[in-house]
Amino acid sequence: MLKVSGGGGGQNWACSVAGTGLESEEGAFEVVVLGGDGGPRSPGWGCSGILGAASGVGQPKAGARARRLAGERQGVEEEGEPVGEGEEPARHPPAPALRLLNRKPLGGSGEIRTPENDLQRGGLSRGPRAPRPAASMDDGGGQPEPSAPHAPGASPGAAAVNGLLHNGFHSPPIQPPRLCSRSPAGGDAAPPRLPLLPELQPQPPPPQHDSPAKKCRLRRRMDSGRKNRPPFPWFGMDIGGTLVKLVYFEPKDITAEEEQEEVENLKSIRKYLTSNTAYGKTGIRDVHLELKNLTMSGRKGNLHFIRFPSCAMHRFIQMGSEKNFSSLHTTLCATGGGAFKFEEDFRMIADLQLHKLDELDCLIQGLLYVDSVGFNGKPECYYFENPTNPELCQKKPYCLDNPYPMLLVNMGSGVSILAVYSKDNYKRVTGTSLGGGTFLGLCCLLTGCETFEEALEMAAKGDSTNVDKLVKDIYGGDYERFGLQGSAVASSFGNMMSKEKRDSISKEDLARATLVTITNNIGSIARMCALNENINRVVFVGNFLRINMVSMKLLAYAMDFWSKGQLKALFLEHEGYFGAVGALLELFKMTSDL
């Protein structure tokens, strides 16, 4: 509003520009009184544009009152009435007019800044009025404290308006503004106040993190995001029905700065995993499978392979909670059926979200990746030469550079058989429920063993022919018409019908017969699938083959014998870890896609 007061013939005028948008323009206008002849009078009348109240300042309500401004030596009252009662009002000079001067406001452009201009430029918008704070009242008159013409310490070009210090368009200090107030007796409603520009609004302080460890974690994640790679630690998990397979990438190119900024629980996890080969009673790190000097996502390091029984999964989740793993990661890439089964436990106990992945996708991607990098300078893939001759049978490397098409036989708790035609083109042909889980379960029942390693150790010492009924037990020799050798198994566990045979066998014989039965069944199904799909390359993977030389040689023998040398059985060094490697690779893809 414009507030005009005068006295002494209109020679001492003071102006207020509060709420007009001209607060920051010093000397932006002057008061000119138009005489009867249209010429300006008293050119000395002027206004500095600084808010200040002279003694006896009045508040005219409307333009009509401004035209009745009078009083040569006395102040004009708010209603515009003459001072003396009963006296005829004297003639007064015409109402003063405002003439804007073409002056450049301090700190801004050459245009005079007004609310109307701001609205036209889209800089301001009329919004709901904020509730007014209570005005500061003194003890004597109950009136608002007069504002000081200048804020202490302000430059001459700065104007204090409504308690805020403005200097051109510079942001005011972040504090609640002091609003002009009127007494209830004034009778005038205050005009609506315009909100500050967004850039002048007080900004909230930046979020504070609870600890230096969390600050470091945030910094590491931001740095990793800029480089399109996830923050450490890097894990991939394959949670199967019998075993959990875990791969962990240990960085070996950590700089001195990274080591200094590394949080303690990250150091603790790396030290725990790499300095031990066993974790509790059942967790094992397969040191002989470690891939060294590997480059993944631009970092050099070693890839470790760890396994433990699926029945120990809850202990693993609890350990992740105790080591505060969620402070380093909130999402863990996992595949296998257990990724679905244990998803809620990970979320509730360890505060971790599982990124669930298809196990067959991960299997193929992990296999192709590990074969491409090799096994510490040696080929990942191998086969057995002369498998039908035990004395001449030996392990030979095999180049899998052009693997397609291939029949991929995944031997875990159960068995899945895939026909793979390219990296992204494959189908599941069939499978069987008789797999590694079947072998271990039957061995536990028949021999009293408790672990896979114990069952294999017993099988290596046994003789399955004491348990199985052979072709020669039926024919007395070979079945020559169809080329069946007398040593071929005609009936698995066929001799156990005889009490005399049952009393003469050992636990080792039973373990060996169980192993041969499961292996022969898988080999027979794989051979028929290869013939149906017209594929002559059969790749066997899965933890059923871990430290299981007996089964690998049996499969090699079966493929070669029954195909008359047309089918070749291939094996890989990292047997059952390809699903976990595929999950780890997906972690890098997730980061690069962000």
Separation between Cα atoms, residue 565 and residue 527, nearest integer Å: 12
Separation between Cα atoms, residue 493 and residue 512, nearest integer Å: 11
Q: What are phi and psi of 237, to 5 degrees?
A: -125, 140
CB-based burial of residue 216 (10 Å sphere; 0-12 exposed, 13-18 middle, 19+ buried)?
middle
Phi-psi sector, 21: left (phi>0), alpha (psi -120 to 50), beta: left
Angle between helices 436-447 and 452-461 (to 10 degrees): 70
Clarify whether 359 is annotated catalytic.
yes
For residues 417 and 428, the answer to whether their CB atoms sit within 8 Å is yes
Q: In angstroms, what is the C-alpha Rg of the chain?
A: 45
Separation between Cα atoms, residue 549 and residue 129, nearest integer Å: 83
CB-based burial of residue 509 (10 Å sphere; 0-12 exposed, 13-18 middle, 19+ buried)?
buried
Q: Which of 359, 380, 573, 586 is catalytic?
A: 359
Residues 6+ apart with CB under 8 A from 521: 432, 434
Counted residue by residue, the chain has a size of: 594
CA proximity to 419, closest of 272, 581, 528? 528
For residues 285 and 276, the answer to whether their CB atoms sit within 8 Å is yes
What are the angstrom distances between the C-alpha of 407 and each of 353, 421, 455, 533?
34, 9, 28, 8
Separation between Cα atoms, residue 347 and residue 330, nearest integer Å: 9
Task: For residue 137, give the DSSP letter.
Answer: B
Q: Copy the structure tokens of residue 120.
A: 């036209």
Between CA 582 and CA 594, with CA 588 as vertex, the angle to 5 degrees is 135
What are the angstrom distances between the C-alpha of 441 and each of 72, 435, 511, 552?
115, 10, 11, 20
What is the distance in angstroms between the CA of the first residue and the CA of the last residue of the chain? 54
Task: For residue 192, give the DSSP letter.
Answer: P
Separation between Cα atoms, residue 540 and residue 535, nearest integer Å: 14
Separation between Cα atoms, residue 485 and residue 498, nearest integer Å: 23
Q: What are phi and psi of 308, to 5 degrees?
A: -160, 160
460 three-state secondary structure: helix
Residues labelled as active-site residues: 359
